[in-house]
Structure 1
Amino acid sequence: MQTWDQIINTALLGTDKRPLAASDLPTELGEAAAVIQHHTTDKEEQFLQTAALVFNYRQCGVQPLKKEGVTIDKAAAEEKQYCSVLAMHTLKDILDSESNSLLQFWLQQCNEKSRIVTPDLVPLLLDIGVQQKKLQNAVVACCGKRGEWLSRFNNEWNFSTASTNEELWQTGSPEQRKMVLEQLRKDDAAAARGWVQQTWQQEDVNMKIELLLLLAINIGSADIEFLESLAKEKSKKVKDIAWWLLKQIPEAPLVQQYQQVLQRSVTVGKKGLQVQLPADIDEAIFKTGIEKLSNNKEYTDEEFIVMQLMQAAPPSFWETQLQSTPDVIIKAWQKDVTGKKLLPALVQAVVAFKDQRWATAFMQNSHVFYIDIIPLLPVKEQEHYSIKFIAQFADNIIEHAIKREDTWSIDLARAIFIHTAKSIYQYNRSFYSRYIHCIPVGIVTELYKCAPAEDHLKATWNNTSEYITKLINLKKQTIQSFND
């Protein structure tokens, strides 16, 4: 609308330098503009009243341009049912709360029940999908056929088109490519590796690093050949990550080579464990990320090398090597001077190879609590030890807890809240909003038990409790709206 541009120019330059003329206005406003000029001679007042007149005229709308021969197909009929009224009201409240975690929870519930949102909220959800890429798939599923149709008219919404995962891998953004590769690696590790191999030569160094890190998911013997081929890569970081991945595969020749060295290096004598590297050790192992010199005065160079080799040896190797069980080995090494030094390396191997049997053995027999082992335990044991040791390792335990996708027990939530209530700056409202999917709805009646003793902290916790209660009520309402 040219008239509005003229008004903006007058506002910028002033009524003396660029007065608004009658010819600048639409003919339909001529009579009204004349009335304004008749009632006041003040140029600024005339300008403001005329601008207000044009603004209201502009707000009334205009007819779209017409072009013959242009047709737009209607959106296909929806195949899924719309959400209930309660579900839609809950969604609007969640959007007002600005909790992405709650929104993701709502979208998951909606998708699991094969429901879609009403048309009025489709554009809003598509806009959210532009900003929150991890929610895009869920947004697409909940926007139905109307979302697919509407995305044709806005390039930013094109993530909602029914592209296959392979198409996204070939033509999508870096984030989309990583997202589909991550999911495929979980579902079909071999196919995911095949995708990476097909495009490997076209990827830049940073993307190669990102893709390799995703191959850590379901890493296995089938990946050995590809990872070994990366020894010729120019980037040291790419080669280091490839070595790191190979060291997690028991069948890898590299791991087998390490075990052969360990067989000859760690022995049991009259004085307990003895560490001595063989004189004819293959120097090639020092080109695979193994450092020769100790960076810790408590360890000799030989002990330091052995510890690095141990981290890449499956814990089950020691059962064969020592002809013993995990429980007996852990108890014996705790009493041995050299064994105590080697235990942390054994723990790292337990974590690297995700050995649940050895993880349980460490928890039951070790005098030292190893926090990194917790995720390997069954959920009930994870929570038992988390609650038991939270006073000593609160931040580490919380870090592990928030990585879980399932809901915490009320006992664990209470233990976590007792700590977070005292650290109001580190664990503020955004913390509870971000991880509301982990928080059980039953904790709402326990919040008062989590209040700190200090008065100044107690007041803050009361306000935080109200906010948590609001989030929990929305979560509870979401569950109810999709179960009715």
Structure 2
Amino acid sequence: MQTWDQIINTALLGTDKRTLAANELPAELAELAALIQNSTTDKEEQFLQIASLAFNYRQCGVLPLKKEGVSVSKAAIEEKLYCSQLAIQTLRDILESESNSLLQFWLQLCEAKSRIVTPELVPALLTIGTQQKKLQNLVVACCGKRGDWLSKFNPEWNFSTATTQEELWQTGSAEQRKAVLEQLRKDDPAMARTWLLQTWAQEDAGTKVEWLMIMAINIGEDDIEFLESLSKEKSKKVKDVALWLLKQIPDSPVVQQYRQVLQKTITIGKKGLQIKLPAGLDEQLFKNTGLDKLSNSKDFTDEEYIIYQLVQAVPPPFWETRLDSEPDIIIRSMQKDPIGKKLMPALVQAVVAFKDQRWATALMQNSQVFYIDIIPLLPVKEQEFYSIRFMDQFSENIIEHAIKREDTWSVDLTRAIFIKTARSVYQYNRSFYSRYIHCIPVEVVPELEKCAPGEDYLRTTWSNTSEYITTLINLKKQTIQSFN
């Protein structure tokens, strides 16, 4: 359309230097253009009105490009049922709320019920998938065959073309492969290790480190052979992470080596518990296992520091066997002994490293000091009991642990958290509640007013925040109802 080229030239030169002539317009627009020119003498106004007229004329008359020999196949017939109208309307509301946590919650329920979204929502979800990598697998599952088909017309949506875990592992993006490996380590650790071995030689050092960090999920005895083989890797970072993982496996050679030394270090004599390193320790113990010979703290002698490292690297049940006693008694006894008291933090680190829930409970019940890192190892009810009890002293740490949970908080814990977050409006703004709405119980709405701070300026902010939380909770409640 030559008229459009003339309009662009006029816009570039300015109406003082050039105006649109009647013969530059299509014949169908001549009469209307004349009316515009007669209605105003302002050149700019005339130009803008004629340009608008030509734009609409152009839009109405454009035909799609046509190329012979190009055929588009239809989307495959859907195998899953569409969501209910209530679920679809809830999804629309969630998309307007821009809460990725709620969207993930909705998609998870949709996938669990083997449902798919209606076709008009597929492009919106695929677009979100390009921005939110962690949602891609859920988006693929919920868009069905139509999503697979549509992704072929937009390279940015091509993450939806691989639908199985193995396909995503072989051909997916870095984020998709990471998500697949994480899930597989939870469901089938052996298969995850097998897939990792298949591509290990092709990965660079940085990627290998990332994969090894994921291997920490369900780390176990079957991983020892693979991890020990990494001692021949060129990258020091890879070797260090592999050694770190081996130290988390009770039956690994390095842990067994530490156990043997500690066995000789801990003795029971007439004066009770005696802790002293055996003479002539093998230098390879320090060279090959990362054990430091020199203390990095003025509170420990070199010998005490070596013992400290051994204690934190050996599974806590060692103490039960060596001292022929129960965790409760051992913990109380160590706190009475000057050296034992200094070693208590190392014992706590061992409990955390080896995820020993029995010893975690014993420590929480018998320790004179509250160790925040033990909380995630406790049963949920105990986690919440101690979290509420020590919220005033360790609020940030406790909240940090709470948001890592995948289940829903109790109303009591939520109330305790909100009382703290309501007083830190900049640190815990609306995005905080939106991000962790999956943890917030729907029953907490009547409790929101009880969480309000005493200060007037904070009460006003909390009132607005409460309304926002209520809106999110209503969407969460509606989502649950949609898939029941």
* SS at 1:153 equivalent: coil
Cα distance change, pair 163–6 in 1 and its aligned pair in 2 (3 A):
farther
CA distance in structure 2 between the partners assigned to 1:459 and 1:182 by the alignment: 42
The one-letter code sitting in structure 1 at the alignment partner of 2:210 is: E
Letter in 2 for 1:125: L
Deviations 1:118-165 (A, max 9, x none): 211110011001111111111112112211111111111111124432
Is the contact made by 2:250 and 2:256 (CA closer than 8 Å) also made in structure 1?
yes
Query: SS of 1:60's equivalent?
Result: helix
Task: Show CA shifts across 1:235-292 (max 9, x none).
Answer: 2222111111000011111110011111112223444443322222111121222111
1:392 deviates by 1.0
Instruction: Name the counterpart of 2:388.
Output: 387
Change (3 A) 1:428 1:39: closer
Tell me if the contact between 2:233 and 2:239 (Cα under 8 Å) persists in the aligned partners: yes
Instruction: Pick closer, same or farther for the CA change 1:187–1:4 going to 2, 3 Å.
Output: farther
| 1:359 shift after superposition | 0.8
Does 1:205 find its partner at 2:205?
yes
Shift of 1:43: 3.4
Q: Shift of residue 469 of structure 1?
A: 0.7
Conservation of the 8 A alpha-carbon contact between 2:137 and 2:176: no
Instruction: For 1:44 and 1:437, locate their aligned partners in 2 and report how far apart those are by CA, in whole Å.
Output: 55
**8 Å Cα contact 2:141/2:163 also seen in 1:** no
User: Larger deviation: 337-346 or 189-198?
Assistant: 189-198
For 1:440, the equivalent position in structure 2 comes to 441
Distance 1:61 1:350, change over 3 A: farther
SS in 2 for 1:70: coil
Look up the match of 2:303.
302
Q: 1:23 to 1:360 in 2, by over 3 A?
A: farther
Distance 1:272 1:304 in 2: 21
Residue 262 of structure 2 corresponds to: 262
| Deviation sequence 1:28-55 (CA, Å, 0-9, x none) | 4344334444555543233212111122
Name the residue aligned to 2:278.
278
- State the match for 2:474 in structure 1: 473
The corresponding residue for 1:332 is 333
Gaps of 5+ in 2: none
Q: What letter is aligned with 1:350?
A: V
Q: Secondary structure at the match of 1:75?
A: coil
Amino acid at match of 2:275: V
Q: In the alignment, is residue 135 of structure 1 matched against residue 132 of structure 2?
A: no
Q: 1:81-230 alignment to 2 at 5 Å? A: 81-230=81-230
Q: How far, CA to CA, are the matches of 1:365 and 1:23 in structure 2? A: 96
How do 1:318-467 and structure 2 match up within 5 A?
Answer: 318-467=319-468
Give the direction of change, closer, same or farther, for the CA distance of 1:12–1:416 in structure 2 (3 Å limit).
same
Task: State the 1:221 CA deviation.
Answer: 1.3
The structure-2 alpha-carbon separation of the partners of 1:199 and 1:77, relative to structure 1 and needing over 3 Å to count, comes to: closer
How big is the shift at 1:21? 5.0
Is 462-471 or 104-113 further displaced after alignment?
104-113
Distance 2:20 2:186 in 1: 66
Percent of matched pairs sharing the same residue:
76
322 and 462 in structure 1: CA distance in 2 versus 1, 3 angstrom threshold? same
The DSSP-based 3-state class of the residue aligned with 1:267 is strand
CA gap of 1:32–1:169, structure 2 versus 1, over 3 A, is same
Distance in 1, Cα, partners of 2:121 & 2:61: 23
Give the secondary structure class of the aligned counterpart of 2:152. helix
**Counterpart in the other structure of 1:76:** 76
**What aligned pairs does 1:227-246 form with structure 2 within 5 A after superposition?**
227-246=227-246
- Report the CA distance shift for 1:261/1:7 in structure 2 as closer, same or farther (over 3 A): farther
TM superposition shift of 1:372: 0.8
| Amino acid of the structure 2 residue aligned with 1:49 | Q
Contact map agreement 2:162 2:168 (CA 8 A) in 1: no
Letter in 2 for 1:130: T
1:428-454 per-position Cα deviation (integer Å, ceiling 9, x unaligned): 111100000000000000111111112
Task: Name the aligned partner's letter for residue 397 of structure 1.
Answer: I
Q: Distance in 2 between matches of 1:44 and 1:255?
A: 82
d(CA) in 2 for partners of 1:93, 1:164 = 30
- Counterparts of 2:77 and 2:134, CA distance in 1: 27
**After superposition, what is the alpha-carbon deviation per residue over 1:406-435, rounded to whole angstroms, capped at 9, x for unaligned?**
111101111111111111111111110000
Distance 1:386 1:309, change over 3 A: same
Give yes or no for contact 1:91–1:106 (8 Å, CA) kept in 2: yes
1:18 CA drift (Å): 5.3
Using the TM superposition, give the Cα deviation of residue 167 of structure 1 relative to its aligned residue in structure 2, in angstroms.
2.6
Alpha carbons 1:275, 1:302 under 8 Å: kept: no
1: CA distance, partners of 2:119 / 2:304:
66
Partner SS state of residue 268, structure 1 = strand
Q: Distance in 1 between matches of 2:209 and 2:252?
A: 20
CA distance in structure 2 between the aligned counterparts of 1:264 and 1:353, rounded to whole angstroms = 22
Q: What is the number of residues matched between the two proteins? A: 483
Q: Retained in 1: the 8 A contact 2:227–2:246?
A: yes
1:471 shift after superposition: 0.7
Shift, 1:11, TM fit: 2.2
- Using the size of structure 2 for normalisation, the TM-score is 0.95
Residue type matched to 2:292 in 1? E
Structure 1 residues 78 and 24: CA distance shift in structure 2, 3 A:
farther
- Give SS of 2:140's match: helix
